[in-house]
Amino acid sequence: MSSIWTPGGEVPVDRGGGTGGQTPPSSASRPPMGGPGGEELSPEQQAQMEAELAAMQQELVNTPASVVIANHAIGLFQLAALHLSVQPPNLEQGQLAIDALGALVEGLAGRLDEHEASLVDALAQLRMAFVQLKARGDTPPG
């Protein structure tokens, strides 16, 4: 059985089944948390932080993976658009983000539920913009 790293520690991953109904690891299995600058937290602050983390983890567990993946894909779309919109456009970084988005969208074809059509359209728009910018040749050499 393999595992995946999470903020709560290593979590075993069952490659044979879904995650429906699973709950995140208990706070007893999590490493102690420090505050934002490394300062120690009071027991009350620690308990509050652990409760908030558990609530966020439970919300994530209850969210379909297609929704989370679509959200990350939108982040890649935005990253590519930013790199293509600066002057001069950063084609290398834009292409990397476009390729990553393409790997997600095309690699998961048929599995992204209601988000798939809009992600396919977004990917096509980015690719068209990239081709047009590259044809203009307004990036510095190198």
User: Is residue 25 pLDDT above 70, yes or no?
Assistant: no
Q: What is the 3-state secondary structure (H, E, C) of the chain?
A: CEEEEECCEEEEECCCCCCCCCCCCCHHHCCCCCCCCCCCCCHHHHHHHHHHHHHHHHHHHCCCHHHHHHHHHHHHHHHHHHHHHCCCCCHHHHHHHHHHHHHHHHHCCCCCHHHHHHHHHHHHHHHHHHHHHHHHCCCCCC
More confident residue, 21 or 14: 14
Going from N- to C-terminal start, the domains of the chain cover 65-136
Token reading at 67: 């929704």
The residue with greater pLDDT, 108 or 23, is: 108
pLDDT at 137: 82
Average pLDDT, the chain: 84
Task: Give which of 114, 115, 95 is closest to 103, Cα–Cα.
Answer: 95
Q: What's the confidence (pLDDT) of residue 109? A: 97
Reply yes or no on whether the pLDDT at 87 is more than 70.
Answer: yes
Per-residue pLDDT, 142: 46
Alpha-carbon gap, residue 88 to 95, rounded angstroms: 14
Assign 40 a pLDDT band (cuts: 50, 70, 90). confident
User: How many whole angstroms separate alpha carbon 30 and alpha carbon 71?
Assistant: 27
Q: Which residues pair with 12 in a beta bridge?
A: 3
Confidence grade of residue 121 (pLDDT, cut at 50, 70, 90): very high
